[in-house]
Amino acid sequence: MTMRSASTRLPAEHGDGRDRGCPPCTHSLFARSRSHPDDAVPSPDSDLTRRPPQRSGHARGPGRHLSMNNQLGTPFLRTYSLHRTNSLHRTKSLHVARGLALCGGAALLLQACGGGAAGGAAGSNKMEIVDASHGFGLLLPHQVHKPTTAGTPGFEIVAIRTFQDLVTNVKPANPVKPPTQWPTSALLPTGAVGNHYIFVSFSAPIDVASVLDASATAQASSNLSGSISIEAVDPLTGTVTTLPGRAFIGGKTYAGTPVNGLLQLQQWVGLVGAAPAALPVGLDLPGLGFPGTQSVTAFPDAAKLVSDKTFVFVADSDSNLQTAETFPLGQQIRMRITGGVRSTGGKLLAAPGLASATVGVDTVGPEVAQSPPPFNVAVITPGNGDANIDPQTPVRIQFSEPIQPFSLGSLDDGKPPSPSSAVSITFGPSTSLVNLPFALRPPSVYDLSTWDLVPAFAFPGAGPVTAQCGAFNKVTITVNSQKFLDLNGRTNSLGPTTFFTTGQGQGLVNAPVAPDAIYIGRFGSKPGITVIDLNGFGQSTGNPTYNLLTPIVEGNSNFPNNVNVAIQGSLMIPPLSPGQCTINGGSRGVFTTTTDSNLNDLLATSPILESVGDMMLGHALDSSFNNGPPPFGCQSGGGNICAQGGLKQLAPVVSNQNTLGPSQAGQFGSLAPGGENLISWAPHPNPPPLIFPPLCVTPFIGGQEPTSINSTLPPPPVSVGAGLQNLLVPGAFPLGVPSQGLPPSGLLVKEANMFFLGPSPPQTQISLCQPFQIRQQIGHYMYVIDRVASEIVVLNSNRFTLIERIVLPDPTSMSMSPNLDFIAVTNQNSDLVSFVDINPASSTFHTIVKSVKVGASPRGIAWETGNEDILVCNEASGSVSIISAFDFEVRKTITNQLKTPFEVCTSPRQTLFGYLRDVYYGYILDRDGSVALYESGPNGVNGWGYDDVVGKPTMKFNKPKAIQADYNSLFGGCWIVHEDQIKKDGTPTGKKGGAVSNLVLESATFGKLYLGASINPQLRDINFAVPVSVGSDQLTGLPVDIAFDNQMNFGGLPTYQSPQFAAGQPISINGKSLVRAGTFGIGVNNTCESVFMFLAVPNSSEGTGSVDVVRVDSGGIRFDTNPFDPGVQSIPAPGASILMDYFRQ
């Protein structure tokens, strides 16, 4: 309740009683004035909640307003201040009314005094808080000193109107300024006796109906509708008391005799000169007692208090404003301003606010707000046992008053959050409890009593009903006592605890990575990306179900069948064990699709992607994100000195016919330390499991390190290892034999590509760490064309989290530089090729560095793998633009023998291999089914290549769909997806339907053939053949795209390219060239030896879509990917339309 100063009466300001007539005024009693300075206050930031990365910003500009204020003279002031009870009161009131009538009547007076809707904010685009005060100081916006460079308070005062204001200026040593208090006596800011009051002004006139309730029954709540409330709070008990008083907007309040249950909106107060004045209502002056109505001098904020943009609340428990009253002692007095406040123009309040102070010295400590007794539950959401909460939901805590931000934790400023001693968010088993870091962000900077705790990473989620994750989806929020501060520096006494459980939410993803993965782009009502697992023994997200007695069951986890896990898992460094939840359930086996923690195999979809087009893999992610110590590794919540780049000493050597292995212990190669993970090696396991707490919070690395090299070292006392060997090697039964109950017993790959090469576990001294060769973050930058959104979406290929969005005019197709420094993107509808920097070490990383005009409707594109040219098919103009890799300019446009070219691929310059002609070839696919062979230069009399189309094979590929280079051939060739199988000479076999054919340069004269005087492009003894054509007897439908396995590759060796013709130096590892120099530089090897070909069939005879798998080393026979069902089965993938492997052109 309010405290009444019963013995205090408002003083009489006796006037001389003379009728002075109308005051001087201009323009028929009105004078147009300039906007009040407060009208030009910068707009507050209303966009304050945490959101995924945005695609567009919001612009706002200052509004400009005009106000209409009548400049009434001071003679009226004394008359209006007559004591309410003296004998002259009624006579003088009538005297005043007559005088006002002479100036144009009561209606004119109301406008002149600031009433009505004629405000100066009619043109405002938003309804925003300008300020809030109780007359003794500013309550809103909050204020802070502008910090010095040392983070201490400077001299300038800054108003906090945006979240950026908060981040820029509030520091641990430069807190938000505390509010001033009301005096304990019923005094006004001028020192005169008067009622306590509080007000808030807005940028536009207030719609009275949105704040005040006209019903007679609402008088018990001061006729407030609820959008603004005035209350006293006892934070220890949680008791909130609505304070009695009288509410005004523009000097108007609801009063009088109800008509049909509704009160009248009466004008009690107007502006006279520089002070508010009580206006007559009938024969009375009920507004006498409103702030300033007794003042004989200028009153602070006078014009604002009677503005139609201002809400004023005056303490009044006895319906008599002349009785000077205070707000209660010993409690927080709050004015809560919600989003329900509306302008007369229909705009809702953009950002809510809470103004708070105490009467007298602040002795009230802050607490977490509580629900009303008898429940007294902490106002923490989600909490109080809430269930099925989205795992990406932030935690919101409401406090009894505004809180100093840094006493709660770190602001959400884009930097790693510091640990909070005030609040903890935990989940997981008690034996390995995860304390989740969070950043702070208020929903509105005008309300520092409410804070969102934005987790540094998402909660694990519950998983599907069939595989609940137990302790992982119960989240506990604990508030610690004596830790957080209010703006006056007082601490909390209570420490409530609550919890909630998460639902499925958006599933977490932990997918196997290249070289053990094929990526599927899927069309349809829900487009997205799926991963085909070619390893089969990793601890990915997936179904954890496993029975040792029946170790091979379709759909169950195959991870426990990993022989390293089964026999020596607990001894490995770090240890491995079967998963218990869908976040670590493991792979279902080789040739299955990876599922997320909700057991869905569509791993990237809306809202990350709106459509899926061409895809490419770029640099390994550990070049940017790793768990080494700061400043180059983990910035927060992790960091292992043994994982730093200086200890990463890559030493790949040719160990088999088609693969690389690590050198012997102590023997390290010539590569500089710190190189990124090699495409030649898969981590063990692939992938390692997700762990909680994560390896590193910022950057977020959720996976465990690959099996450490320490696992192979002798055990103590000889060394620090476990003395283990990698038991998971290529095997005869990678899919198992279900009919005999035999689980998978080895890797699919023919030659080992997986080793124990991870970093040592954390040590106190770097001398205790072992050199290593693979680390987290595993995977690659994954580039996906989203043509619907006109973007290239950059993903983490292991976790499928969003890294970046790159906006382009009309991204259609793309190809990557063999040196992994740029991608070239065709924009079909704008006739452009855009070059995007994809080198993480570059200052222009992930930006467009150049766009080049080409022919009409560019579509297919191929970056020659020796880094000489980029070939672009201009479908509408029947040409191919050749862009130089040196300067990204079109150096030549060819039209010879071309009609409607739409796809292209290349094979490397045959300098020391193949037919030794020292030219590279391009295979240009035309809509008419023909393939034109482009031969590179140099041309001219002394040249040996035409730099033009030299001819076409006689073969026609009916209704062509796609083309990719033949990875296995050093002599040149390609694979073409089309319809209707053909023979070796190109004649039809008669089998209609889907087909894929291998076009090769079967024979040619060896060596350079100088052109001399020959100027007409010609094949010069090149003969073509189709050694393999797979038809409808093998395929399940019409394929539309093609990819190959990369499990056996020499990608860890330097890229091979011609020093005479290539742009720049070749990259030392992971280049996209299709050839590599042989051992000790002798000879040349094809980079990748593929065994399996993958064909996307969107409309398959086996269902709504599938990926057919064909053995390219066995004459094109379709491979059975599912041993559980009879016959030859493909991989189910509804809507499969795009396929991608690492070396895709």
pLDDT top residue among 834 and 668: 834
Query: What's the pLDDT at 1072?
Result: 97
Q: Is the bond leading into 607 cis (omega within 30 degrees of zero)?
A: yes
CA 609 → CA 106, 605, 1096, distances in Å?
A: 63, 5, 20
pLDDT top residue among 701 and 115: 701
Residue 586 gets which letter from DSSP? -
Q: Is the pLDDT at 794 greater than 90, yes or no?
A: yes
CA 63 → CA 140, 204, 342, 609, 1099, distances in Å?
A: 20, 10, 17, 37, 57
Q: pLDDT band at 1026, cuts 50/70/90?
A: very high
Query: What's the pLDDT at 504?
Result: 75
Query: What's the pLDDT at 470?
Result: 65
User: Per-residue pLDDT tens for 424-454?
Assistant: 999 887 777 888 889 999 999 999 999 999 9
Query: What's the pLDDT at 880?
Result: 99
pLDDT top residue among 343 and 38: 343
- Mean local confidence (pLDDT), 609-634: 96
286: phi then psi, degrees, rounded to nearest 5: -65, -20
Q: Is the pLDDT at 411 greater than 90, yes or no?
A: yes
Return the exposure string of 156-174: e unless at least 16 CB atoms fall within 10 Å of the residue's CB, then b: eebbbbbbebbbbbbbeeb
Model pTM score: 0.79
Q: Is the pLDDT at 733 greater than 50, yes or no?
A: yes
Instruction: Say if 544 falls within a structural domain.
Output: no
* Distant-in-sequence, close-in-space partners of 581: CB < 8 Å, separation ≥ 6: 460, 463, 467, 468, 469, 470, 472, 544, 597
Lowest mean pLDDT among 114-128, 169-183, 910-924: 114-128
Strands of 160-261, DSSP E: 197-202, 228-234, 239-242, 245-249, 252-259
Structural domains of the chain, count: 1
Query: What's the pLDDT at 457?
Result: 81
User: Per-residue pLDDT tens for 262-289?
Assistant: 999 999 999 988 889 999 999 999 999 9
H or E stretch at 314? strand 310-315
329 closest CA partner among 4, 71, 752: 4
Q: pLDDT band at 665, cuts 50/70/90?
A: low
Nearest-angstrom CA–CA distance, 186 and 495: 36
Q: Is the pLDDT at 69 greater than 80, yes or no?
A: no
pLDDT top residue among 480 and 51: 480
Instruction: Say if 469 falls within a structural domain.
Output: yes
Is 309 in contact with 203 (CB distance < 8 Å)? yes
H-state helical runs in 269-356: 302-305
Query: What's the pLDDT at 507?
Result: 84
pLDDT top residue among 516 and 84: 516
Is 626 in contact with 776 (CB distance < 8 Å)? yes
Q: In this structure, are strands 497-502 and 386-389 parallel, antiparallel, or unpaired?
A: parallel
Query: What's the pLDDT at 467?
Result: 61
- Mean local confidence (pLDDT), 627-647: 92
Return the exposure string of 28-39: e unless at least 16 CB atoms fall within 10 Å of the residue's CB, then b: ebbeeeeebebb
Query: What's the pLDDT at 31?
Result: 32
Query: What's the pLDDT at 731?
Result: 94
Domain that includes residue 472, residue range: 380-502
Longest C-alpha distance within the chain, in Å? 126
Q: Is the pLDDT at 301 greater than 80, yes or no?
A: yes
- Mean local confidence (pLDDT), 1043-1067: 94
- Mean local confidence (pLDDT), 143-159: 97
DSSP state string for 723-791? -------B-S-TT-BGGGTBPP-SBSSSS--B---BPPPP-SSGGGPPPBS--SSPSEEEEEEETTTTE
Is 466 in contact with 446 (CB distance < 8 Å)? no
Q: pLDDT band at 670, cuts 50/70/90?
A: low
Lowest mean pLDDT among 465-469, 666-670, 776-780: 666-670
Q: pLDDT band at 238, cuts 50/70/90?
A: confident
- Mean local confidence (pLDDT), 364-375: 90
Could you tell me if residue 672 is left (phi over 0), alpha (psi between -120 and 50 degrees) or otherwise beta?
beta
Is 526 in contact with 518 (CB distance < 8 Å)? no
DSSP-assigned beta bridge partners for residue 881? 872, 893
Tokens of 992: 């209609």
Lowest mean pLDDT among 203-207, 250-254, 414-418, 538-542: 414-418
Residue 596 gets which letter from DSSP? -
Quote the mean pLDDT of the chain: 88
Nearest-angstrom CA–CA distance, 341 and 347: 8
Instruction: Say if 953 falls within a structural domain.
Output: no
202 closest CA partner among 345, 311, 110: 311
DSSP state string for 345-406? TSPBBSS-EEEEE-BSS------B-BPSTTT--B-EES-TTEEEE-TTPPEEEEBSS-B-HH
* Distant-in-sequence, close-in-space partners of 551: CB < 8 Å, separation ≥ 6: 560, 561, 741, 743
Question: For position 420, which CATH number holds?
Answer: 2.60.40.1220
CA dihedral 691, 696, 701, 705 (to 10 degrees): -60
Query: What's the pLDDT at 410?
Result: 94
Q: pLDDT band at 572, cuts 50/70/90?
A: very high
* SS3 annotation, 396-426: EEEECCCECHHHHCEECCCCCCCCCCCEEEE
Query: What's the pLDDT at 91?
Result: 31
Q: Do you know the residue count of the chain?
A: 1145
Amino acid present at 612: V
Query: What's the pLDDT at 546?
Result: 96
**Angle value at C-alpha 554, between 551 and 560, nearest 5 degrees:** 35
* Distant-in-sequence, close-in-space partners of 778: CB < 8 Å, separation ≥ 6: 513, 621, 622, 677, 683, 686, 687, 688, 703, 706, 798
**Angle value at C-alpha 932, between 810 and 879, nearest 5 degrees:** 40
Instruction: Say if 477 falls within a structural domain.
Output: yes
* Distant-in-sequence, close-in-space partners of 527: CB < 8 Å, separation ≥ 6: 521, 605, 606, 609, 610, 611, 612, 1135
Q: pLDDT band at 38, cuts 50/70/90?
A: very low
H-state helical runs in 81-160: 89-102, 105-112
Q: pLDDT band at 1114, cuts 50/70/90?
A: confident
Is 276 in contact with 314 (CB distance < 8 Å)? no
* Distant-in-sequence, close-in-space partners of 1121: CB < 8 Å, separation ≥ 6: 591, 735, 1109, 1129, 1130, 1131
Q: Give the CB-side neighbour count of residue 629, counting CA atoms within 13 A.
A: 11
Distance of CA 1109 to the CA centre of its chain: 35
Instruction: Say if 905 falls within a structural domain.
Output: no
Q: pLDDT band at 8, cuts 50/70/90?
A: very low
Query: What's the pLDDT at 1046?
Result: 98
User: Per-residue pLDDT tens for 749-770?
Assistant: 999 999 999 999 999 999 999 9
pLDDT top residue among 723 and 22: 723
Nearest-angstrom CA–CA distance, 806 and 1074: 28
Amino acid present at 455: P
CA 270 → CA 80, 286, 306, 428, distances in Å?
A: 10, 12, 6, 63
- Mean local confidence (pLDDT), 464-488: 85
User: Per-residue pLDDT tens for 329-340?
Assistant: 999 999 999 999
Lowest mean pLDDT among 111-115, 320-324, 507-511, 1036-1040: 111-115
Instruction: Say if 705 falls within a structural domain.
Output: no
Q: Is the pLDDT at 579 greater than 70, yes or no?
A: yes
Instruction: Say if 731 falls within a structural domain.
Output: no
Query: What's the pLDDT at 505?
Result: 75
Instruction: Say if 325 falls within a structural domain.
Output: no
Q: Is the pLDDT at 399 greater than 80, yes or no?
A: yes
DSSP state string for 1076-1107? EE-GGG-SEEESB---EEEEEESSBTTBS-EE
pLDDT top residue among 712 and 69: 712
Tokens of 316: 């009044």
User: Per-residue pLDDT tens for 41-68?
Assistant: 333 333 333 333 333 333 333 332 323 3
User: Per-residue pLDDT tens for 969-1004?
Assistant: 999 999 999 999 999 999 999 999 999 999 999 999
Q: Is the pLDDT at 21 greater than 90, yes or no?
A: no
- Mean local confidence (pLDDT), 218-245: 94
